[in-house]
Structure 1
């Protein structure tokens, strides 16, 4: 096989492959059905034209037959008038019309035979078209069912182009979600461990606890002051309860003083150790 032959063969193969992929069986079947209907319509038109020609010949034959009768009457009248010459001329015209009638009958018979043949072919073609229509609809239904089944199978298996894109998008979304969850968990862990103290604030954990302790002590002091003020302005009947509450507060303050003294003593020991 030469280069040109091989090239032509490859090109035809490629074109045939493209056409096969682009071809829609449903559209092809509908187009074939319409072409067959067009052929049937042409056959019907041919039969109609043939029948029209036959009817014209039949009309012409009837007119000739009327002329034959007319020439018969002329011949009889001429004989009654002893005009043999006129009778002969009438009979001659009659014979000519009879010859024409015979030719017309032959043509009409041929046209009738042709018409009968066309009608038979038309009926056969019409039956084939009806059979093709039934097969066409059946084939279209099968093709559409197979196409739908294929789409469902591709969707279920995820091998289709669109479903593949959806699957990849879902995987990307899942990866991004996992990454964000891991990042959030890491941030929470770093905040809990105090790893971000130097970034988010200039105080460490001990400074914050000491500040909280001072705030609590200030609140407690203000609360004691408020209670003392309310105790001075209370009614005499409430003095016993006030005194009892004041005694409890004094005890708590004494305990706090003792605790503070212990802390101070411990701090002095730490300082002495540092100096040593």
Structure 2
């Protein structure tokens, strides 16, 4: 195989592959159906044209037949008038017209045969078109059902091109999110370690640590001061009472007086006065 022929073969194969991928079976079937209908219309137009030509020949044949009858009458009339020369000329014209009629009849017969063949082809083509139309609709329904099933399967398994693009987009979003989270965590770690100095302040890391220590010691001192102040405000604990000595025997009057003091708050005044009166009477006795 030469270079040119091989190149031509490769180009044709590439073009065929592109056409196969771009071809839509439903559109192809519809186009084929339209082509067959166009062919049927061409056949019908051919039959119509052929029929028209045949009708013209038949009309011409009828005119010649009329002329033949006319020349026949002319010849008869000439014979009756003893004009053989005129009769001979009329018969010659009649003969010519008869020959033309025979030619027309042959042409008309040929056209009739062609017309019959075209009509038969037209009927056969029409039958094939109807069968193709039924098969076309069936194939289109099967193809659309298969296409829908394939689409659903791709959606369920996420294997279609669009779903692959969606999957890749999700992966890229996850990668970017992880990168941003790692970057934020790294910046927080560096900020806490003091690796980034404040561009506004002229203090370095040591100054900030010393300030934190001094602030912490100040807080501790203030806390101790608060504790001491709170301790002074609290009341001192009362000393435990010493054990009381046993009471000596006392007089009745000494015993009754504290009892009276204890009862002043609870006993009514009338009862107290009555008891005092009784005590005074007992002392008189």
Normalising by the residue count of structure 1, what TM-score does the alignment of the two structures yield?
A: 0.63
Q: CA, structure 1 residues 15+254, in 2 after alignment: closer, same or farther (shift >3 Å)?
A: closer
Cα deviation per residue 1:91-134 (whole Å; 9 max; x = unaligned)? 33223222221221121111111101111101111221222222
Residue 257 of structure 1 and its aligned partner are, at CA, apart by 4.2
Q: Between Structure 1 and Structure 2, how many residues are aligned?
A: 222
Cα deviation per residue 1:221-267 (whole Å; 9 max; x = unaligned)? xxxxxxxxxxxxxxxxxxxxxxxxxxxxxxx99635469xxxxxxxx
Q: Does the alignment pair 1:255 with 2:230?
A: yes
1:207 alignment partner in structure 2? 215
Equivalents in 2 of 1:125, 1:111: separation in Å? 20
SS in 2 for 1:204: helix
Equivalents in 1 of 2:221, 2:70: separation in Å? 147
Equivalents in 1 of 2:6, 2:86: separation in Å? 88
Structure 1 range deviating more: 26-35 or 118-127: 26-35
1:107 alignment partner in structure 2? 107
2:280 alignment partner in structure 1? none
Q: CA, structure 1 residues 105+5, in 2 after alignment: closer, same or farther (shift >3 Å)?
A: closer
2:60 alignment partner in structure 1? 60
Equivalents in 1 of 2:213, 2:110: separation in Å? 121
Structure 1 range deviating more: 61-70 or 14-23: 14-23
Q: CA, structure 1 residues 205+43, in 2 after alignment: closer, same or farther (shift >3 Å)?
A: farther
Alignment of 1:85-104 (within 5 A): 85-104=85-104
Structure 1 range deviating more: 125-134 or 23-32: 23-32
Q: CA, structure 1 residues 185+210, in 2 after alignment: closer, same or farther (shift >3 Å)?
A: farther
Equivalents in 2 of 1:258, 1:199: separation in Å? 47
2:49 alignment partner in structure 1? 49
Equivalents in 2 of 1:71, 1:46: separation in Å? 37
2:17 alignment partner in structure 1? 17
Q: CA, structure 1 residues 9+71, in 2 after alignment: closer, same or farther (shift >3 Å)?
A: closer
SS in 2 for 1:154: helix
SS in 1 for 2:159: coil
Equivalents in 2 of 1:147, 1:8: separation in Å? 34
Gaps of 5+ in 1: 221-251, 260-276
Greater Cα radius of gyration, structure 1 or 2: 2
Gaps of 5+ in 2: 202-207, 235-285
Q: Does the alignment pair 1:142 with 2:142?
A: yes
Residue 50 of structure 1 and its aligned partner are, at CA, apart by 1.4
